Amino acid sequence: MPLHYSCQQDTIMKRHFFVPVITLCGIISQLTAQDTLTIIGREIEEVKVISRVEQPTDNHTFIDGRELNEQNNGQNLPYLLSMTPSLIVTSDDGLGIGYTYFRIRGTDHTRINMTVNDVPLNDAESQTVFWVNMTDLSSSLSNVNVQRGVGTSTNGFAAFGGSINMETSSNFFKTEKKHGGILNKSSVEIGFNGGMYKTFREYAKADVVLGNNWRAQARFSKVNSDGYLERAKSDLLSYHGSIGYYTQKTKASLTVFGGKEKTYMAWDGVTKDQMKENPRYNPAGEYTDDNGNTAYYSNQNDNYQQQHVQLHLSQRLIPNLLLDATLHYTHGDGYYEQYKADKKYSTFGLTPTYYTDDKGKQKENKTDFVREKHLDNHFYGGIVSLKYISEPADAQFGFAANNYTGHHWGNITYIRDSLYPHPLPYDYEYYRSRGDKLDINMYLKANWRVINKVQEKLTIYGDLQYRYVHYTINGINDEDLKPIPVDETFHFFNPKAGITYQNKDHQTYFNFAIANREPSRKNYTEAGPNDLQCPERLYDYELGYNYRGKGWHAGVNLYFMDYKNQLVLTGKYSDTGAYLTKNVDKSYRMGAELSAGVSMLNWFEWNVCATISRNKILNYRDWVEIYDENWEYIRQDETEFGDVTIAFSPTLVMSNSFKFTVAGFTADLQTQVVTKQYLDNTMSEEATLPTYTVTNLNLQYLLPLPERCPNITLRCQLNNMFDSHYASNGGNWMCRFEDGSTYYSPWYYAQAGINVHAGFVVRF
């Protein structure tokens, strides 16, 4: 867990809370049920807010919320997106319930732009999203758009591998029938599933149509799991609620969502031998007790809660002109508690004590500690956009100003050495710092349809964005207890342009974009003494062709992503599990994304996609620690490794799906293949993630009940059905000895073998 520490509050709600929640949802549904929502005396045919002017290309994947949740058994959102091109996922607990991460085109999640209803979701300092804080968010999403490459200008950080733009179900409104449900009717849905490793998910949600053009929604979810790894427990809850007012010209809504989590740490990783001997082994919290036995600290937990509030207004000023305005506020606070064995007193700013070893050298005493690391942050701002939509052209102007304040501090709550000669104050605080970040951006983008015939279209796209960032950190660094005076101002200009030609079922396009991105907090606080802290720049070229005929489609997207000062993963992690990165001068990612699908039969659908890529750092140089034969540190030497493959960047990622639908029964067989990945940037065969293949099977059956009865769907999910033993993530520490030999110490995060989950969904 990088920077989102967690919350110490009371125990999370128990499952019996679902009884009143479900009862309340049912009462509301019965009291407010209407056949249709009427606006200005007639039924709405469509009330929908156009969220943004998009590039008319196809290097993105749009997923409907219903389709997304067909395979939702409590795993975090990245696992539900794992079949999209160029995306691979991993998790700490091995199941995808606890801390979950993903990469697009080899770029880690800290450089993927993520928004909910156009509001930035990435944490302003760590630049990532911790899905465990919002478990089961997907149950409240109407759609997800996964964009690969830079994509169109939006709010938040620049996209360096892709972007994920999410809309909650409160953000648009249709009357169409979809998967057997009429979205403009009041409805209640409850669901339950249970599975291996004591994994349970329960949720209840209501979609209520009120009179006078009002609509309300609510959801509450509870997810619990012991995790695949030992003690990797998760106790999670989340919620979503909204109330909205809709007319032909106006949409106003208040949306709140968030969650609370308590997870046992599972971010330490294991060696290859440990994984073979016991793939579920989790070293977190391990220590030796007074009797010489191995024990595990019971409170090695992460506790965090987060609340999001969004106020949206959309007003159609004239038929072709739409004004959108949003105010938002996010608050998060919490802490994690961690047992740190065999640490020096000076590590935590305490007065050291010394002893003399058998060689007569004086060394500092060590002992065991328990520490808590806290975080309390506030993120708020406003977003405005003006959109003009017409037959020959679309244009959009956007402006956003967001501010972040984050407080960080740490306490020592226990010292094992009872003979420590100095008094320790209660909740001794050994570091404190504060980060402040102001982020302002404005953009202007437009589509001009030069040719706009029924069978032929030629569109030119332009996008200009300016982004201002002022970032300061004041206080003491938690890593070395030294001051971290950071005061940085960035001015970024991010232009984009493209052209698309479409003739009947054929489409071809070319896009070019420049993106700039600032370093994260960890780049400043955990960088080595010789590492640069530079903003990174990306020149992104995308060329594609697609054919969409009757019953089948095929396409190819070629990309070349040319980086200046790219922040690449080094394979090293902080002692809090955070990915460590460093700037490299010149690097690139290039590849081909291939996709095809067949749906000629109404009961069978086949889709396949593959990304073949080459990911290189040119003339890679890094500092390597040198030790003597007794493991005494001597110095660091700068070493040149030449042109190397970027860590965690597989050459091939391929996904295949066979979907059968017959008489209410659905079977979806999904397979993903990910080839070998290097764990660092030295291309050592001693530190790699081997190729792995994972196959999942999702089964669903809609019971054939009379029309007046609720819809009841039975579900069963078989994950990793062929019981593949694999690790999807890891790291490596490398050093050298005086004699020139090299030492590698890789570690891995094992993922679960075959695991089965089953349950039901009832929709009234």
Interval 369-395 mean pLDDT: 95
Q: What is the pLDDT of residues 729-750, one digit of tens each?
A: 999 989 999 988 999 999 999 9
Q: What is the pLDDT of residues 602-627, one digit of tens each?
A: 899 999 999 999 999 999 988 888 99
Token pair for residue 710? 């609720």
Residue 456 CB partners (closer than 8 Å, separation 6+): 502, 503, 504
Residue of 529, 437, 433, 568 whose CA lies nearest to 490: 437
Local confidence band at 183 (pLDDT 50, 70, 90 cut-offs)? very low
Contact 672, 694 (CB under 8 A): yes
Q: Measured between alpha carbons, how far is residue 133 from residues 77, 239, 371, 438, 556 in Å?
A: 12, 11, 22, 24, 36
pLDDT at 573: 56
3-state secondary structure of 523: helix
Token pair for residue 330? 């996010």
Local confidence band at 31 (pLDDT 50, 70, 90 cut-offs)? very low
Interval 693-701 mean pLDDT: 96
Residue 745 CB partners (closer than 8 Å, separation 6+): 271, 732, 733, 734
Q: Which range has highest mean pLDDT (138-142, 182-186, 590-594, 637-641)?
A: 590-594
pLDDT above 80: residue 171: no
Interval 680-699 mean pLDDT: 95
Share of the chain above pLDDT 90, in %: 69
pLDDT above 80: residue 577: no
pLDDT at 169: 76
pLDDT above 60: residue 23: no
Q: In this predicted structure, which of 316-330, 515-529, 653-667 has the lowest mean pLDDT? A: 515-529
Between β-strands 112-116 and 162-168, what pairing exists: parallel, antiparallel or unpaired?
parallel
Residue 235 CB partners (closer than 8 Å, separation 6+): 11, 12, 224, 261, 262, 263
Quote the DSSP letter at residue 270: B
Contact 86, 162 (CB under 8 A): yes
Q: What is the pLDDT of residues 415-441, one digit of tens each?
A: 987 777 777 777 799 999 999 999 999
Q: For the chain, what is the largest distance between any 2 Cα atoms, rounded to a whole number of angstroms?
A: 93
Kindly report the pTM of this predicted structure: 0.88
Quote the DSSP letter at residue 36: S
Three-state secondary structure readout of 42-96: EECCEECCCCCCCCCCCCEEEEEHHHHHCCCCCCCHHHHCCCCCCEEEEECCCCC
Interval 332-344 mean pLDDT: 94
Q: In this predicted structure, which of 36-45, 346-355, 460-469, 743-752 has the lowest mean pLDDT? A: 36-45
CA separation for the pair 502, 173 (Å, rounded)? 29
CA separation for the pair 123, 118 (Å, rounded)? 15
Q: What is the pLDDT of residues 143-158, one digit of tens each?
A: 999 999 998 888 888 8
Residue of 200, 190, 221, 204 whose CA lies nearest to 761: 190
Interval 242-270 mean pLDDT: 93
Contact 695, 674 (CB under 8 A): no
Q: In this predicted structure, which of 44-58, 278-292, 508-522, 740-754 has the lowest mean pLDDT? A: 44-58
Give 3-state DSSP helix, strand, coil % of the chain, rounded to 5. 5, 60, 30
Local confidence band at 3 (pLDDT 50, 70, 90 cut-offs)? very low
What is the end-to-end Cα distance of the chain in Å, rounded? 39
Query: CA-CA-CA-CA torsion for 165, 167, 168, 171, nearest 10 degrees?
Result: 150
> Cα 340 vs. chain centroid, distance in angstroms?
28
Quote the DSSP letter at residue 265: -
CA separation for the pair 496, 539 (Å, rounded)? 10
Quote the DSSP letter at residue 420: -
pLDDT above 60: residue 36: no
Q: What is the pLDDT of residues 45-99, one digit of tens each?
A: 334 444 456 666 768 888 988 888 888 888 999 999 999 999 999 999 999 999 9
Contact 175, 184 (CB under 8 A): yes
CA separation for the pair 81, 83 (Å, rounded)? 6
pLDDT above 70: residue 330: yes
- Give the H/E segment covering residue 699: strand 692-702
CA separation for the pair 51, 314 (Å, rounded)? 10
CA separation for the pair 280, 202 (Å, rounded)? 26
Three-state secondary structure readout of 300-352: CEEEEEEEEEEEEEEEEEECCEEEEEEEEEEEEEEEEEEEEEEEEHHHHCCCC
CA separation for the pair 530, 512 (Å, rounded)? 33
Quote the DSSP letter at residue 691: P
Residue 645 CB partners (closer than 8 Å, separation 6+): 615, 616, 617, 678, 681, 683
**Chain length of the chain:** 764
CA separation for the pair 550, 653 (Å, rounded)? 27
Q: Measured between alpha carbons, how far is residue 140 from residues 64, 120, 128, 424, 764 in Å?
A: 11, 17, 21, 48, 17
Looking up tokens 């809504």 gives 253
Residue spans of beta strands (DSSP E) within 550-664: 552-573, 579-601, 604-627, 633-645, 652-662
Please tell me which residue, 80 or 577, carries the higher pLDDT value: 80
Torsional class of 40: left (φ above 0), alpha (ψ -120 to 50), beta (otherwise): left
Residue of 283, 267, 477, 297 whose CA lies nearest to 371: 297
CA separation for the pair 703, 710 (Å, rounded)? 10
pLDDT at 736: 93
Handedness of CA 77, 78, 83, 85 (dihedral sign): positive
Between β-strands 677-678 and 633-645, what pairing exists: parallel, antiparallel or unpaired?
unpaired
Interval 400-409 mean pLDDT: 97
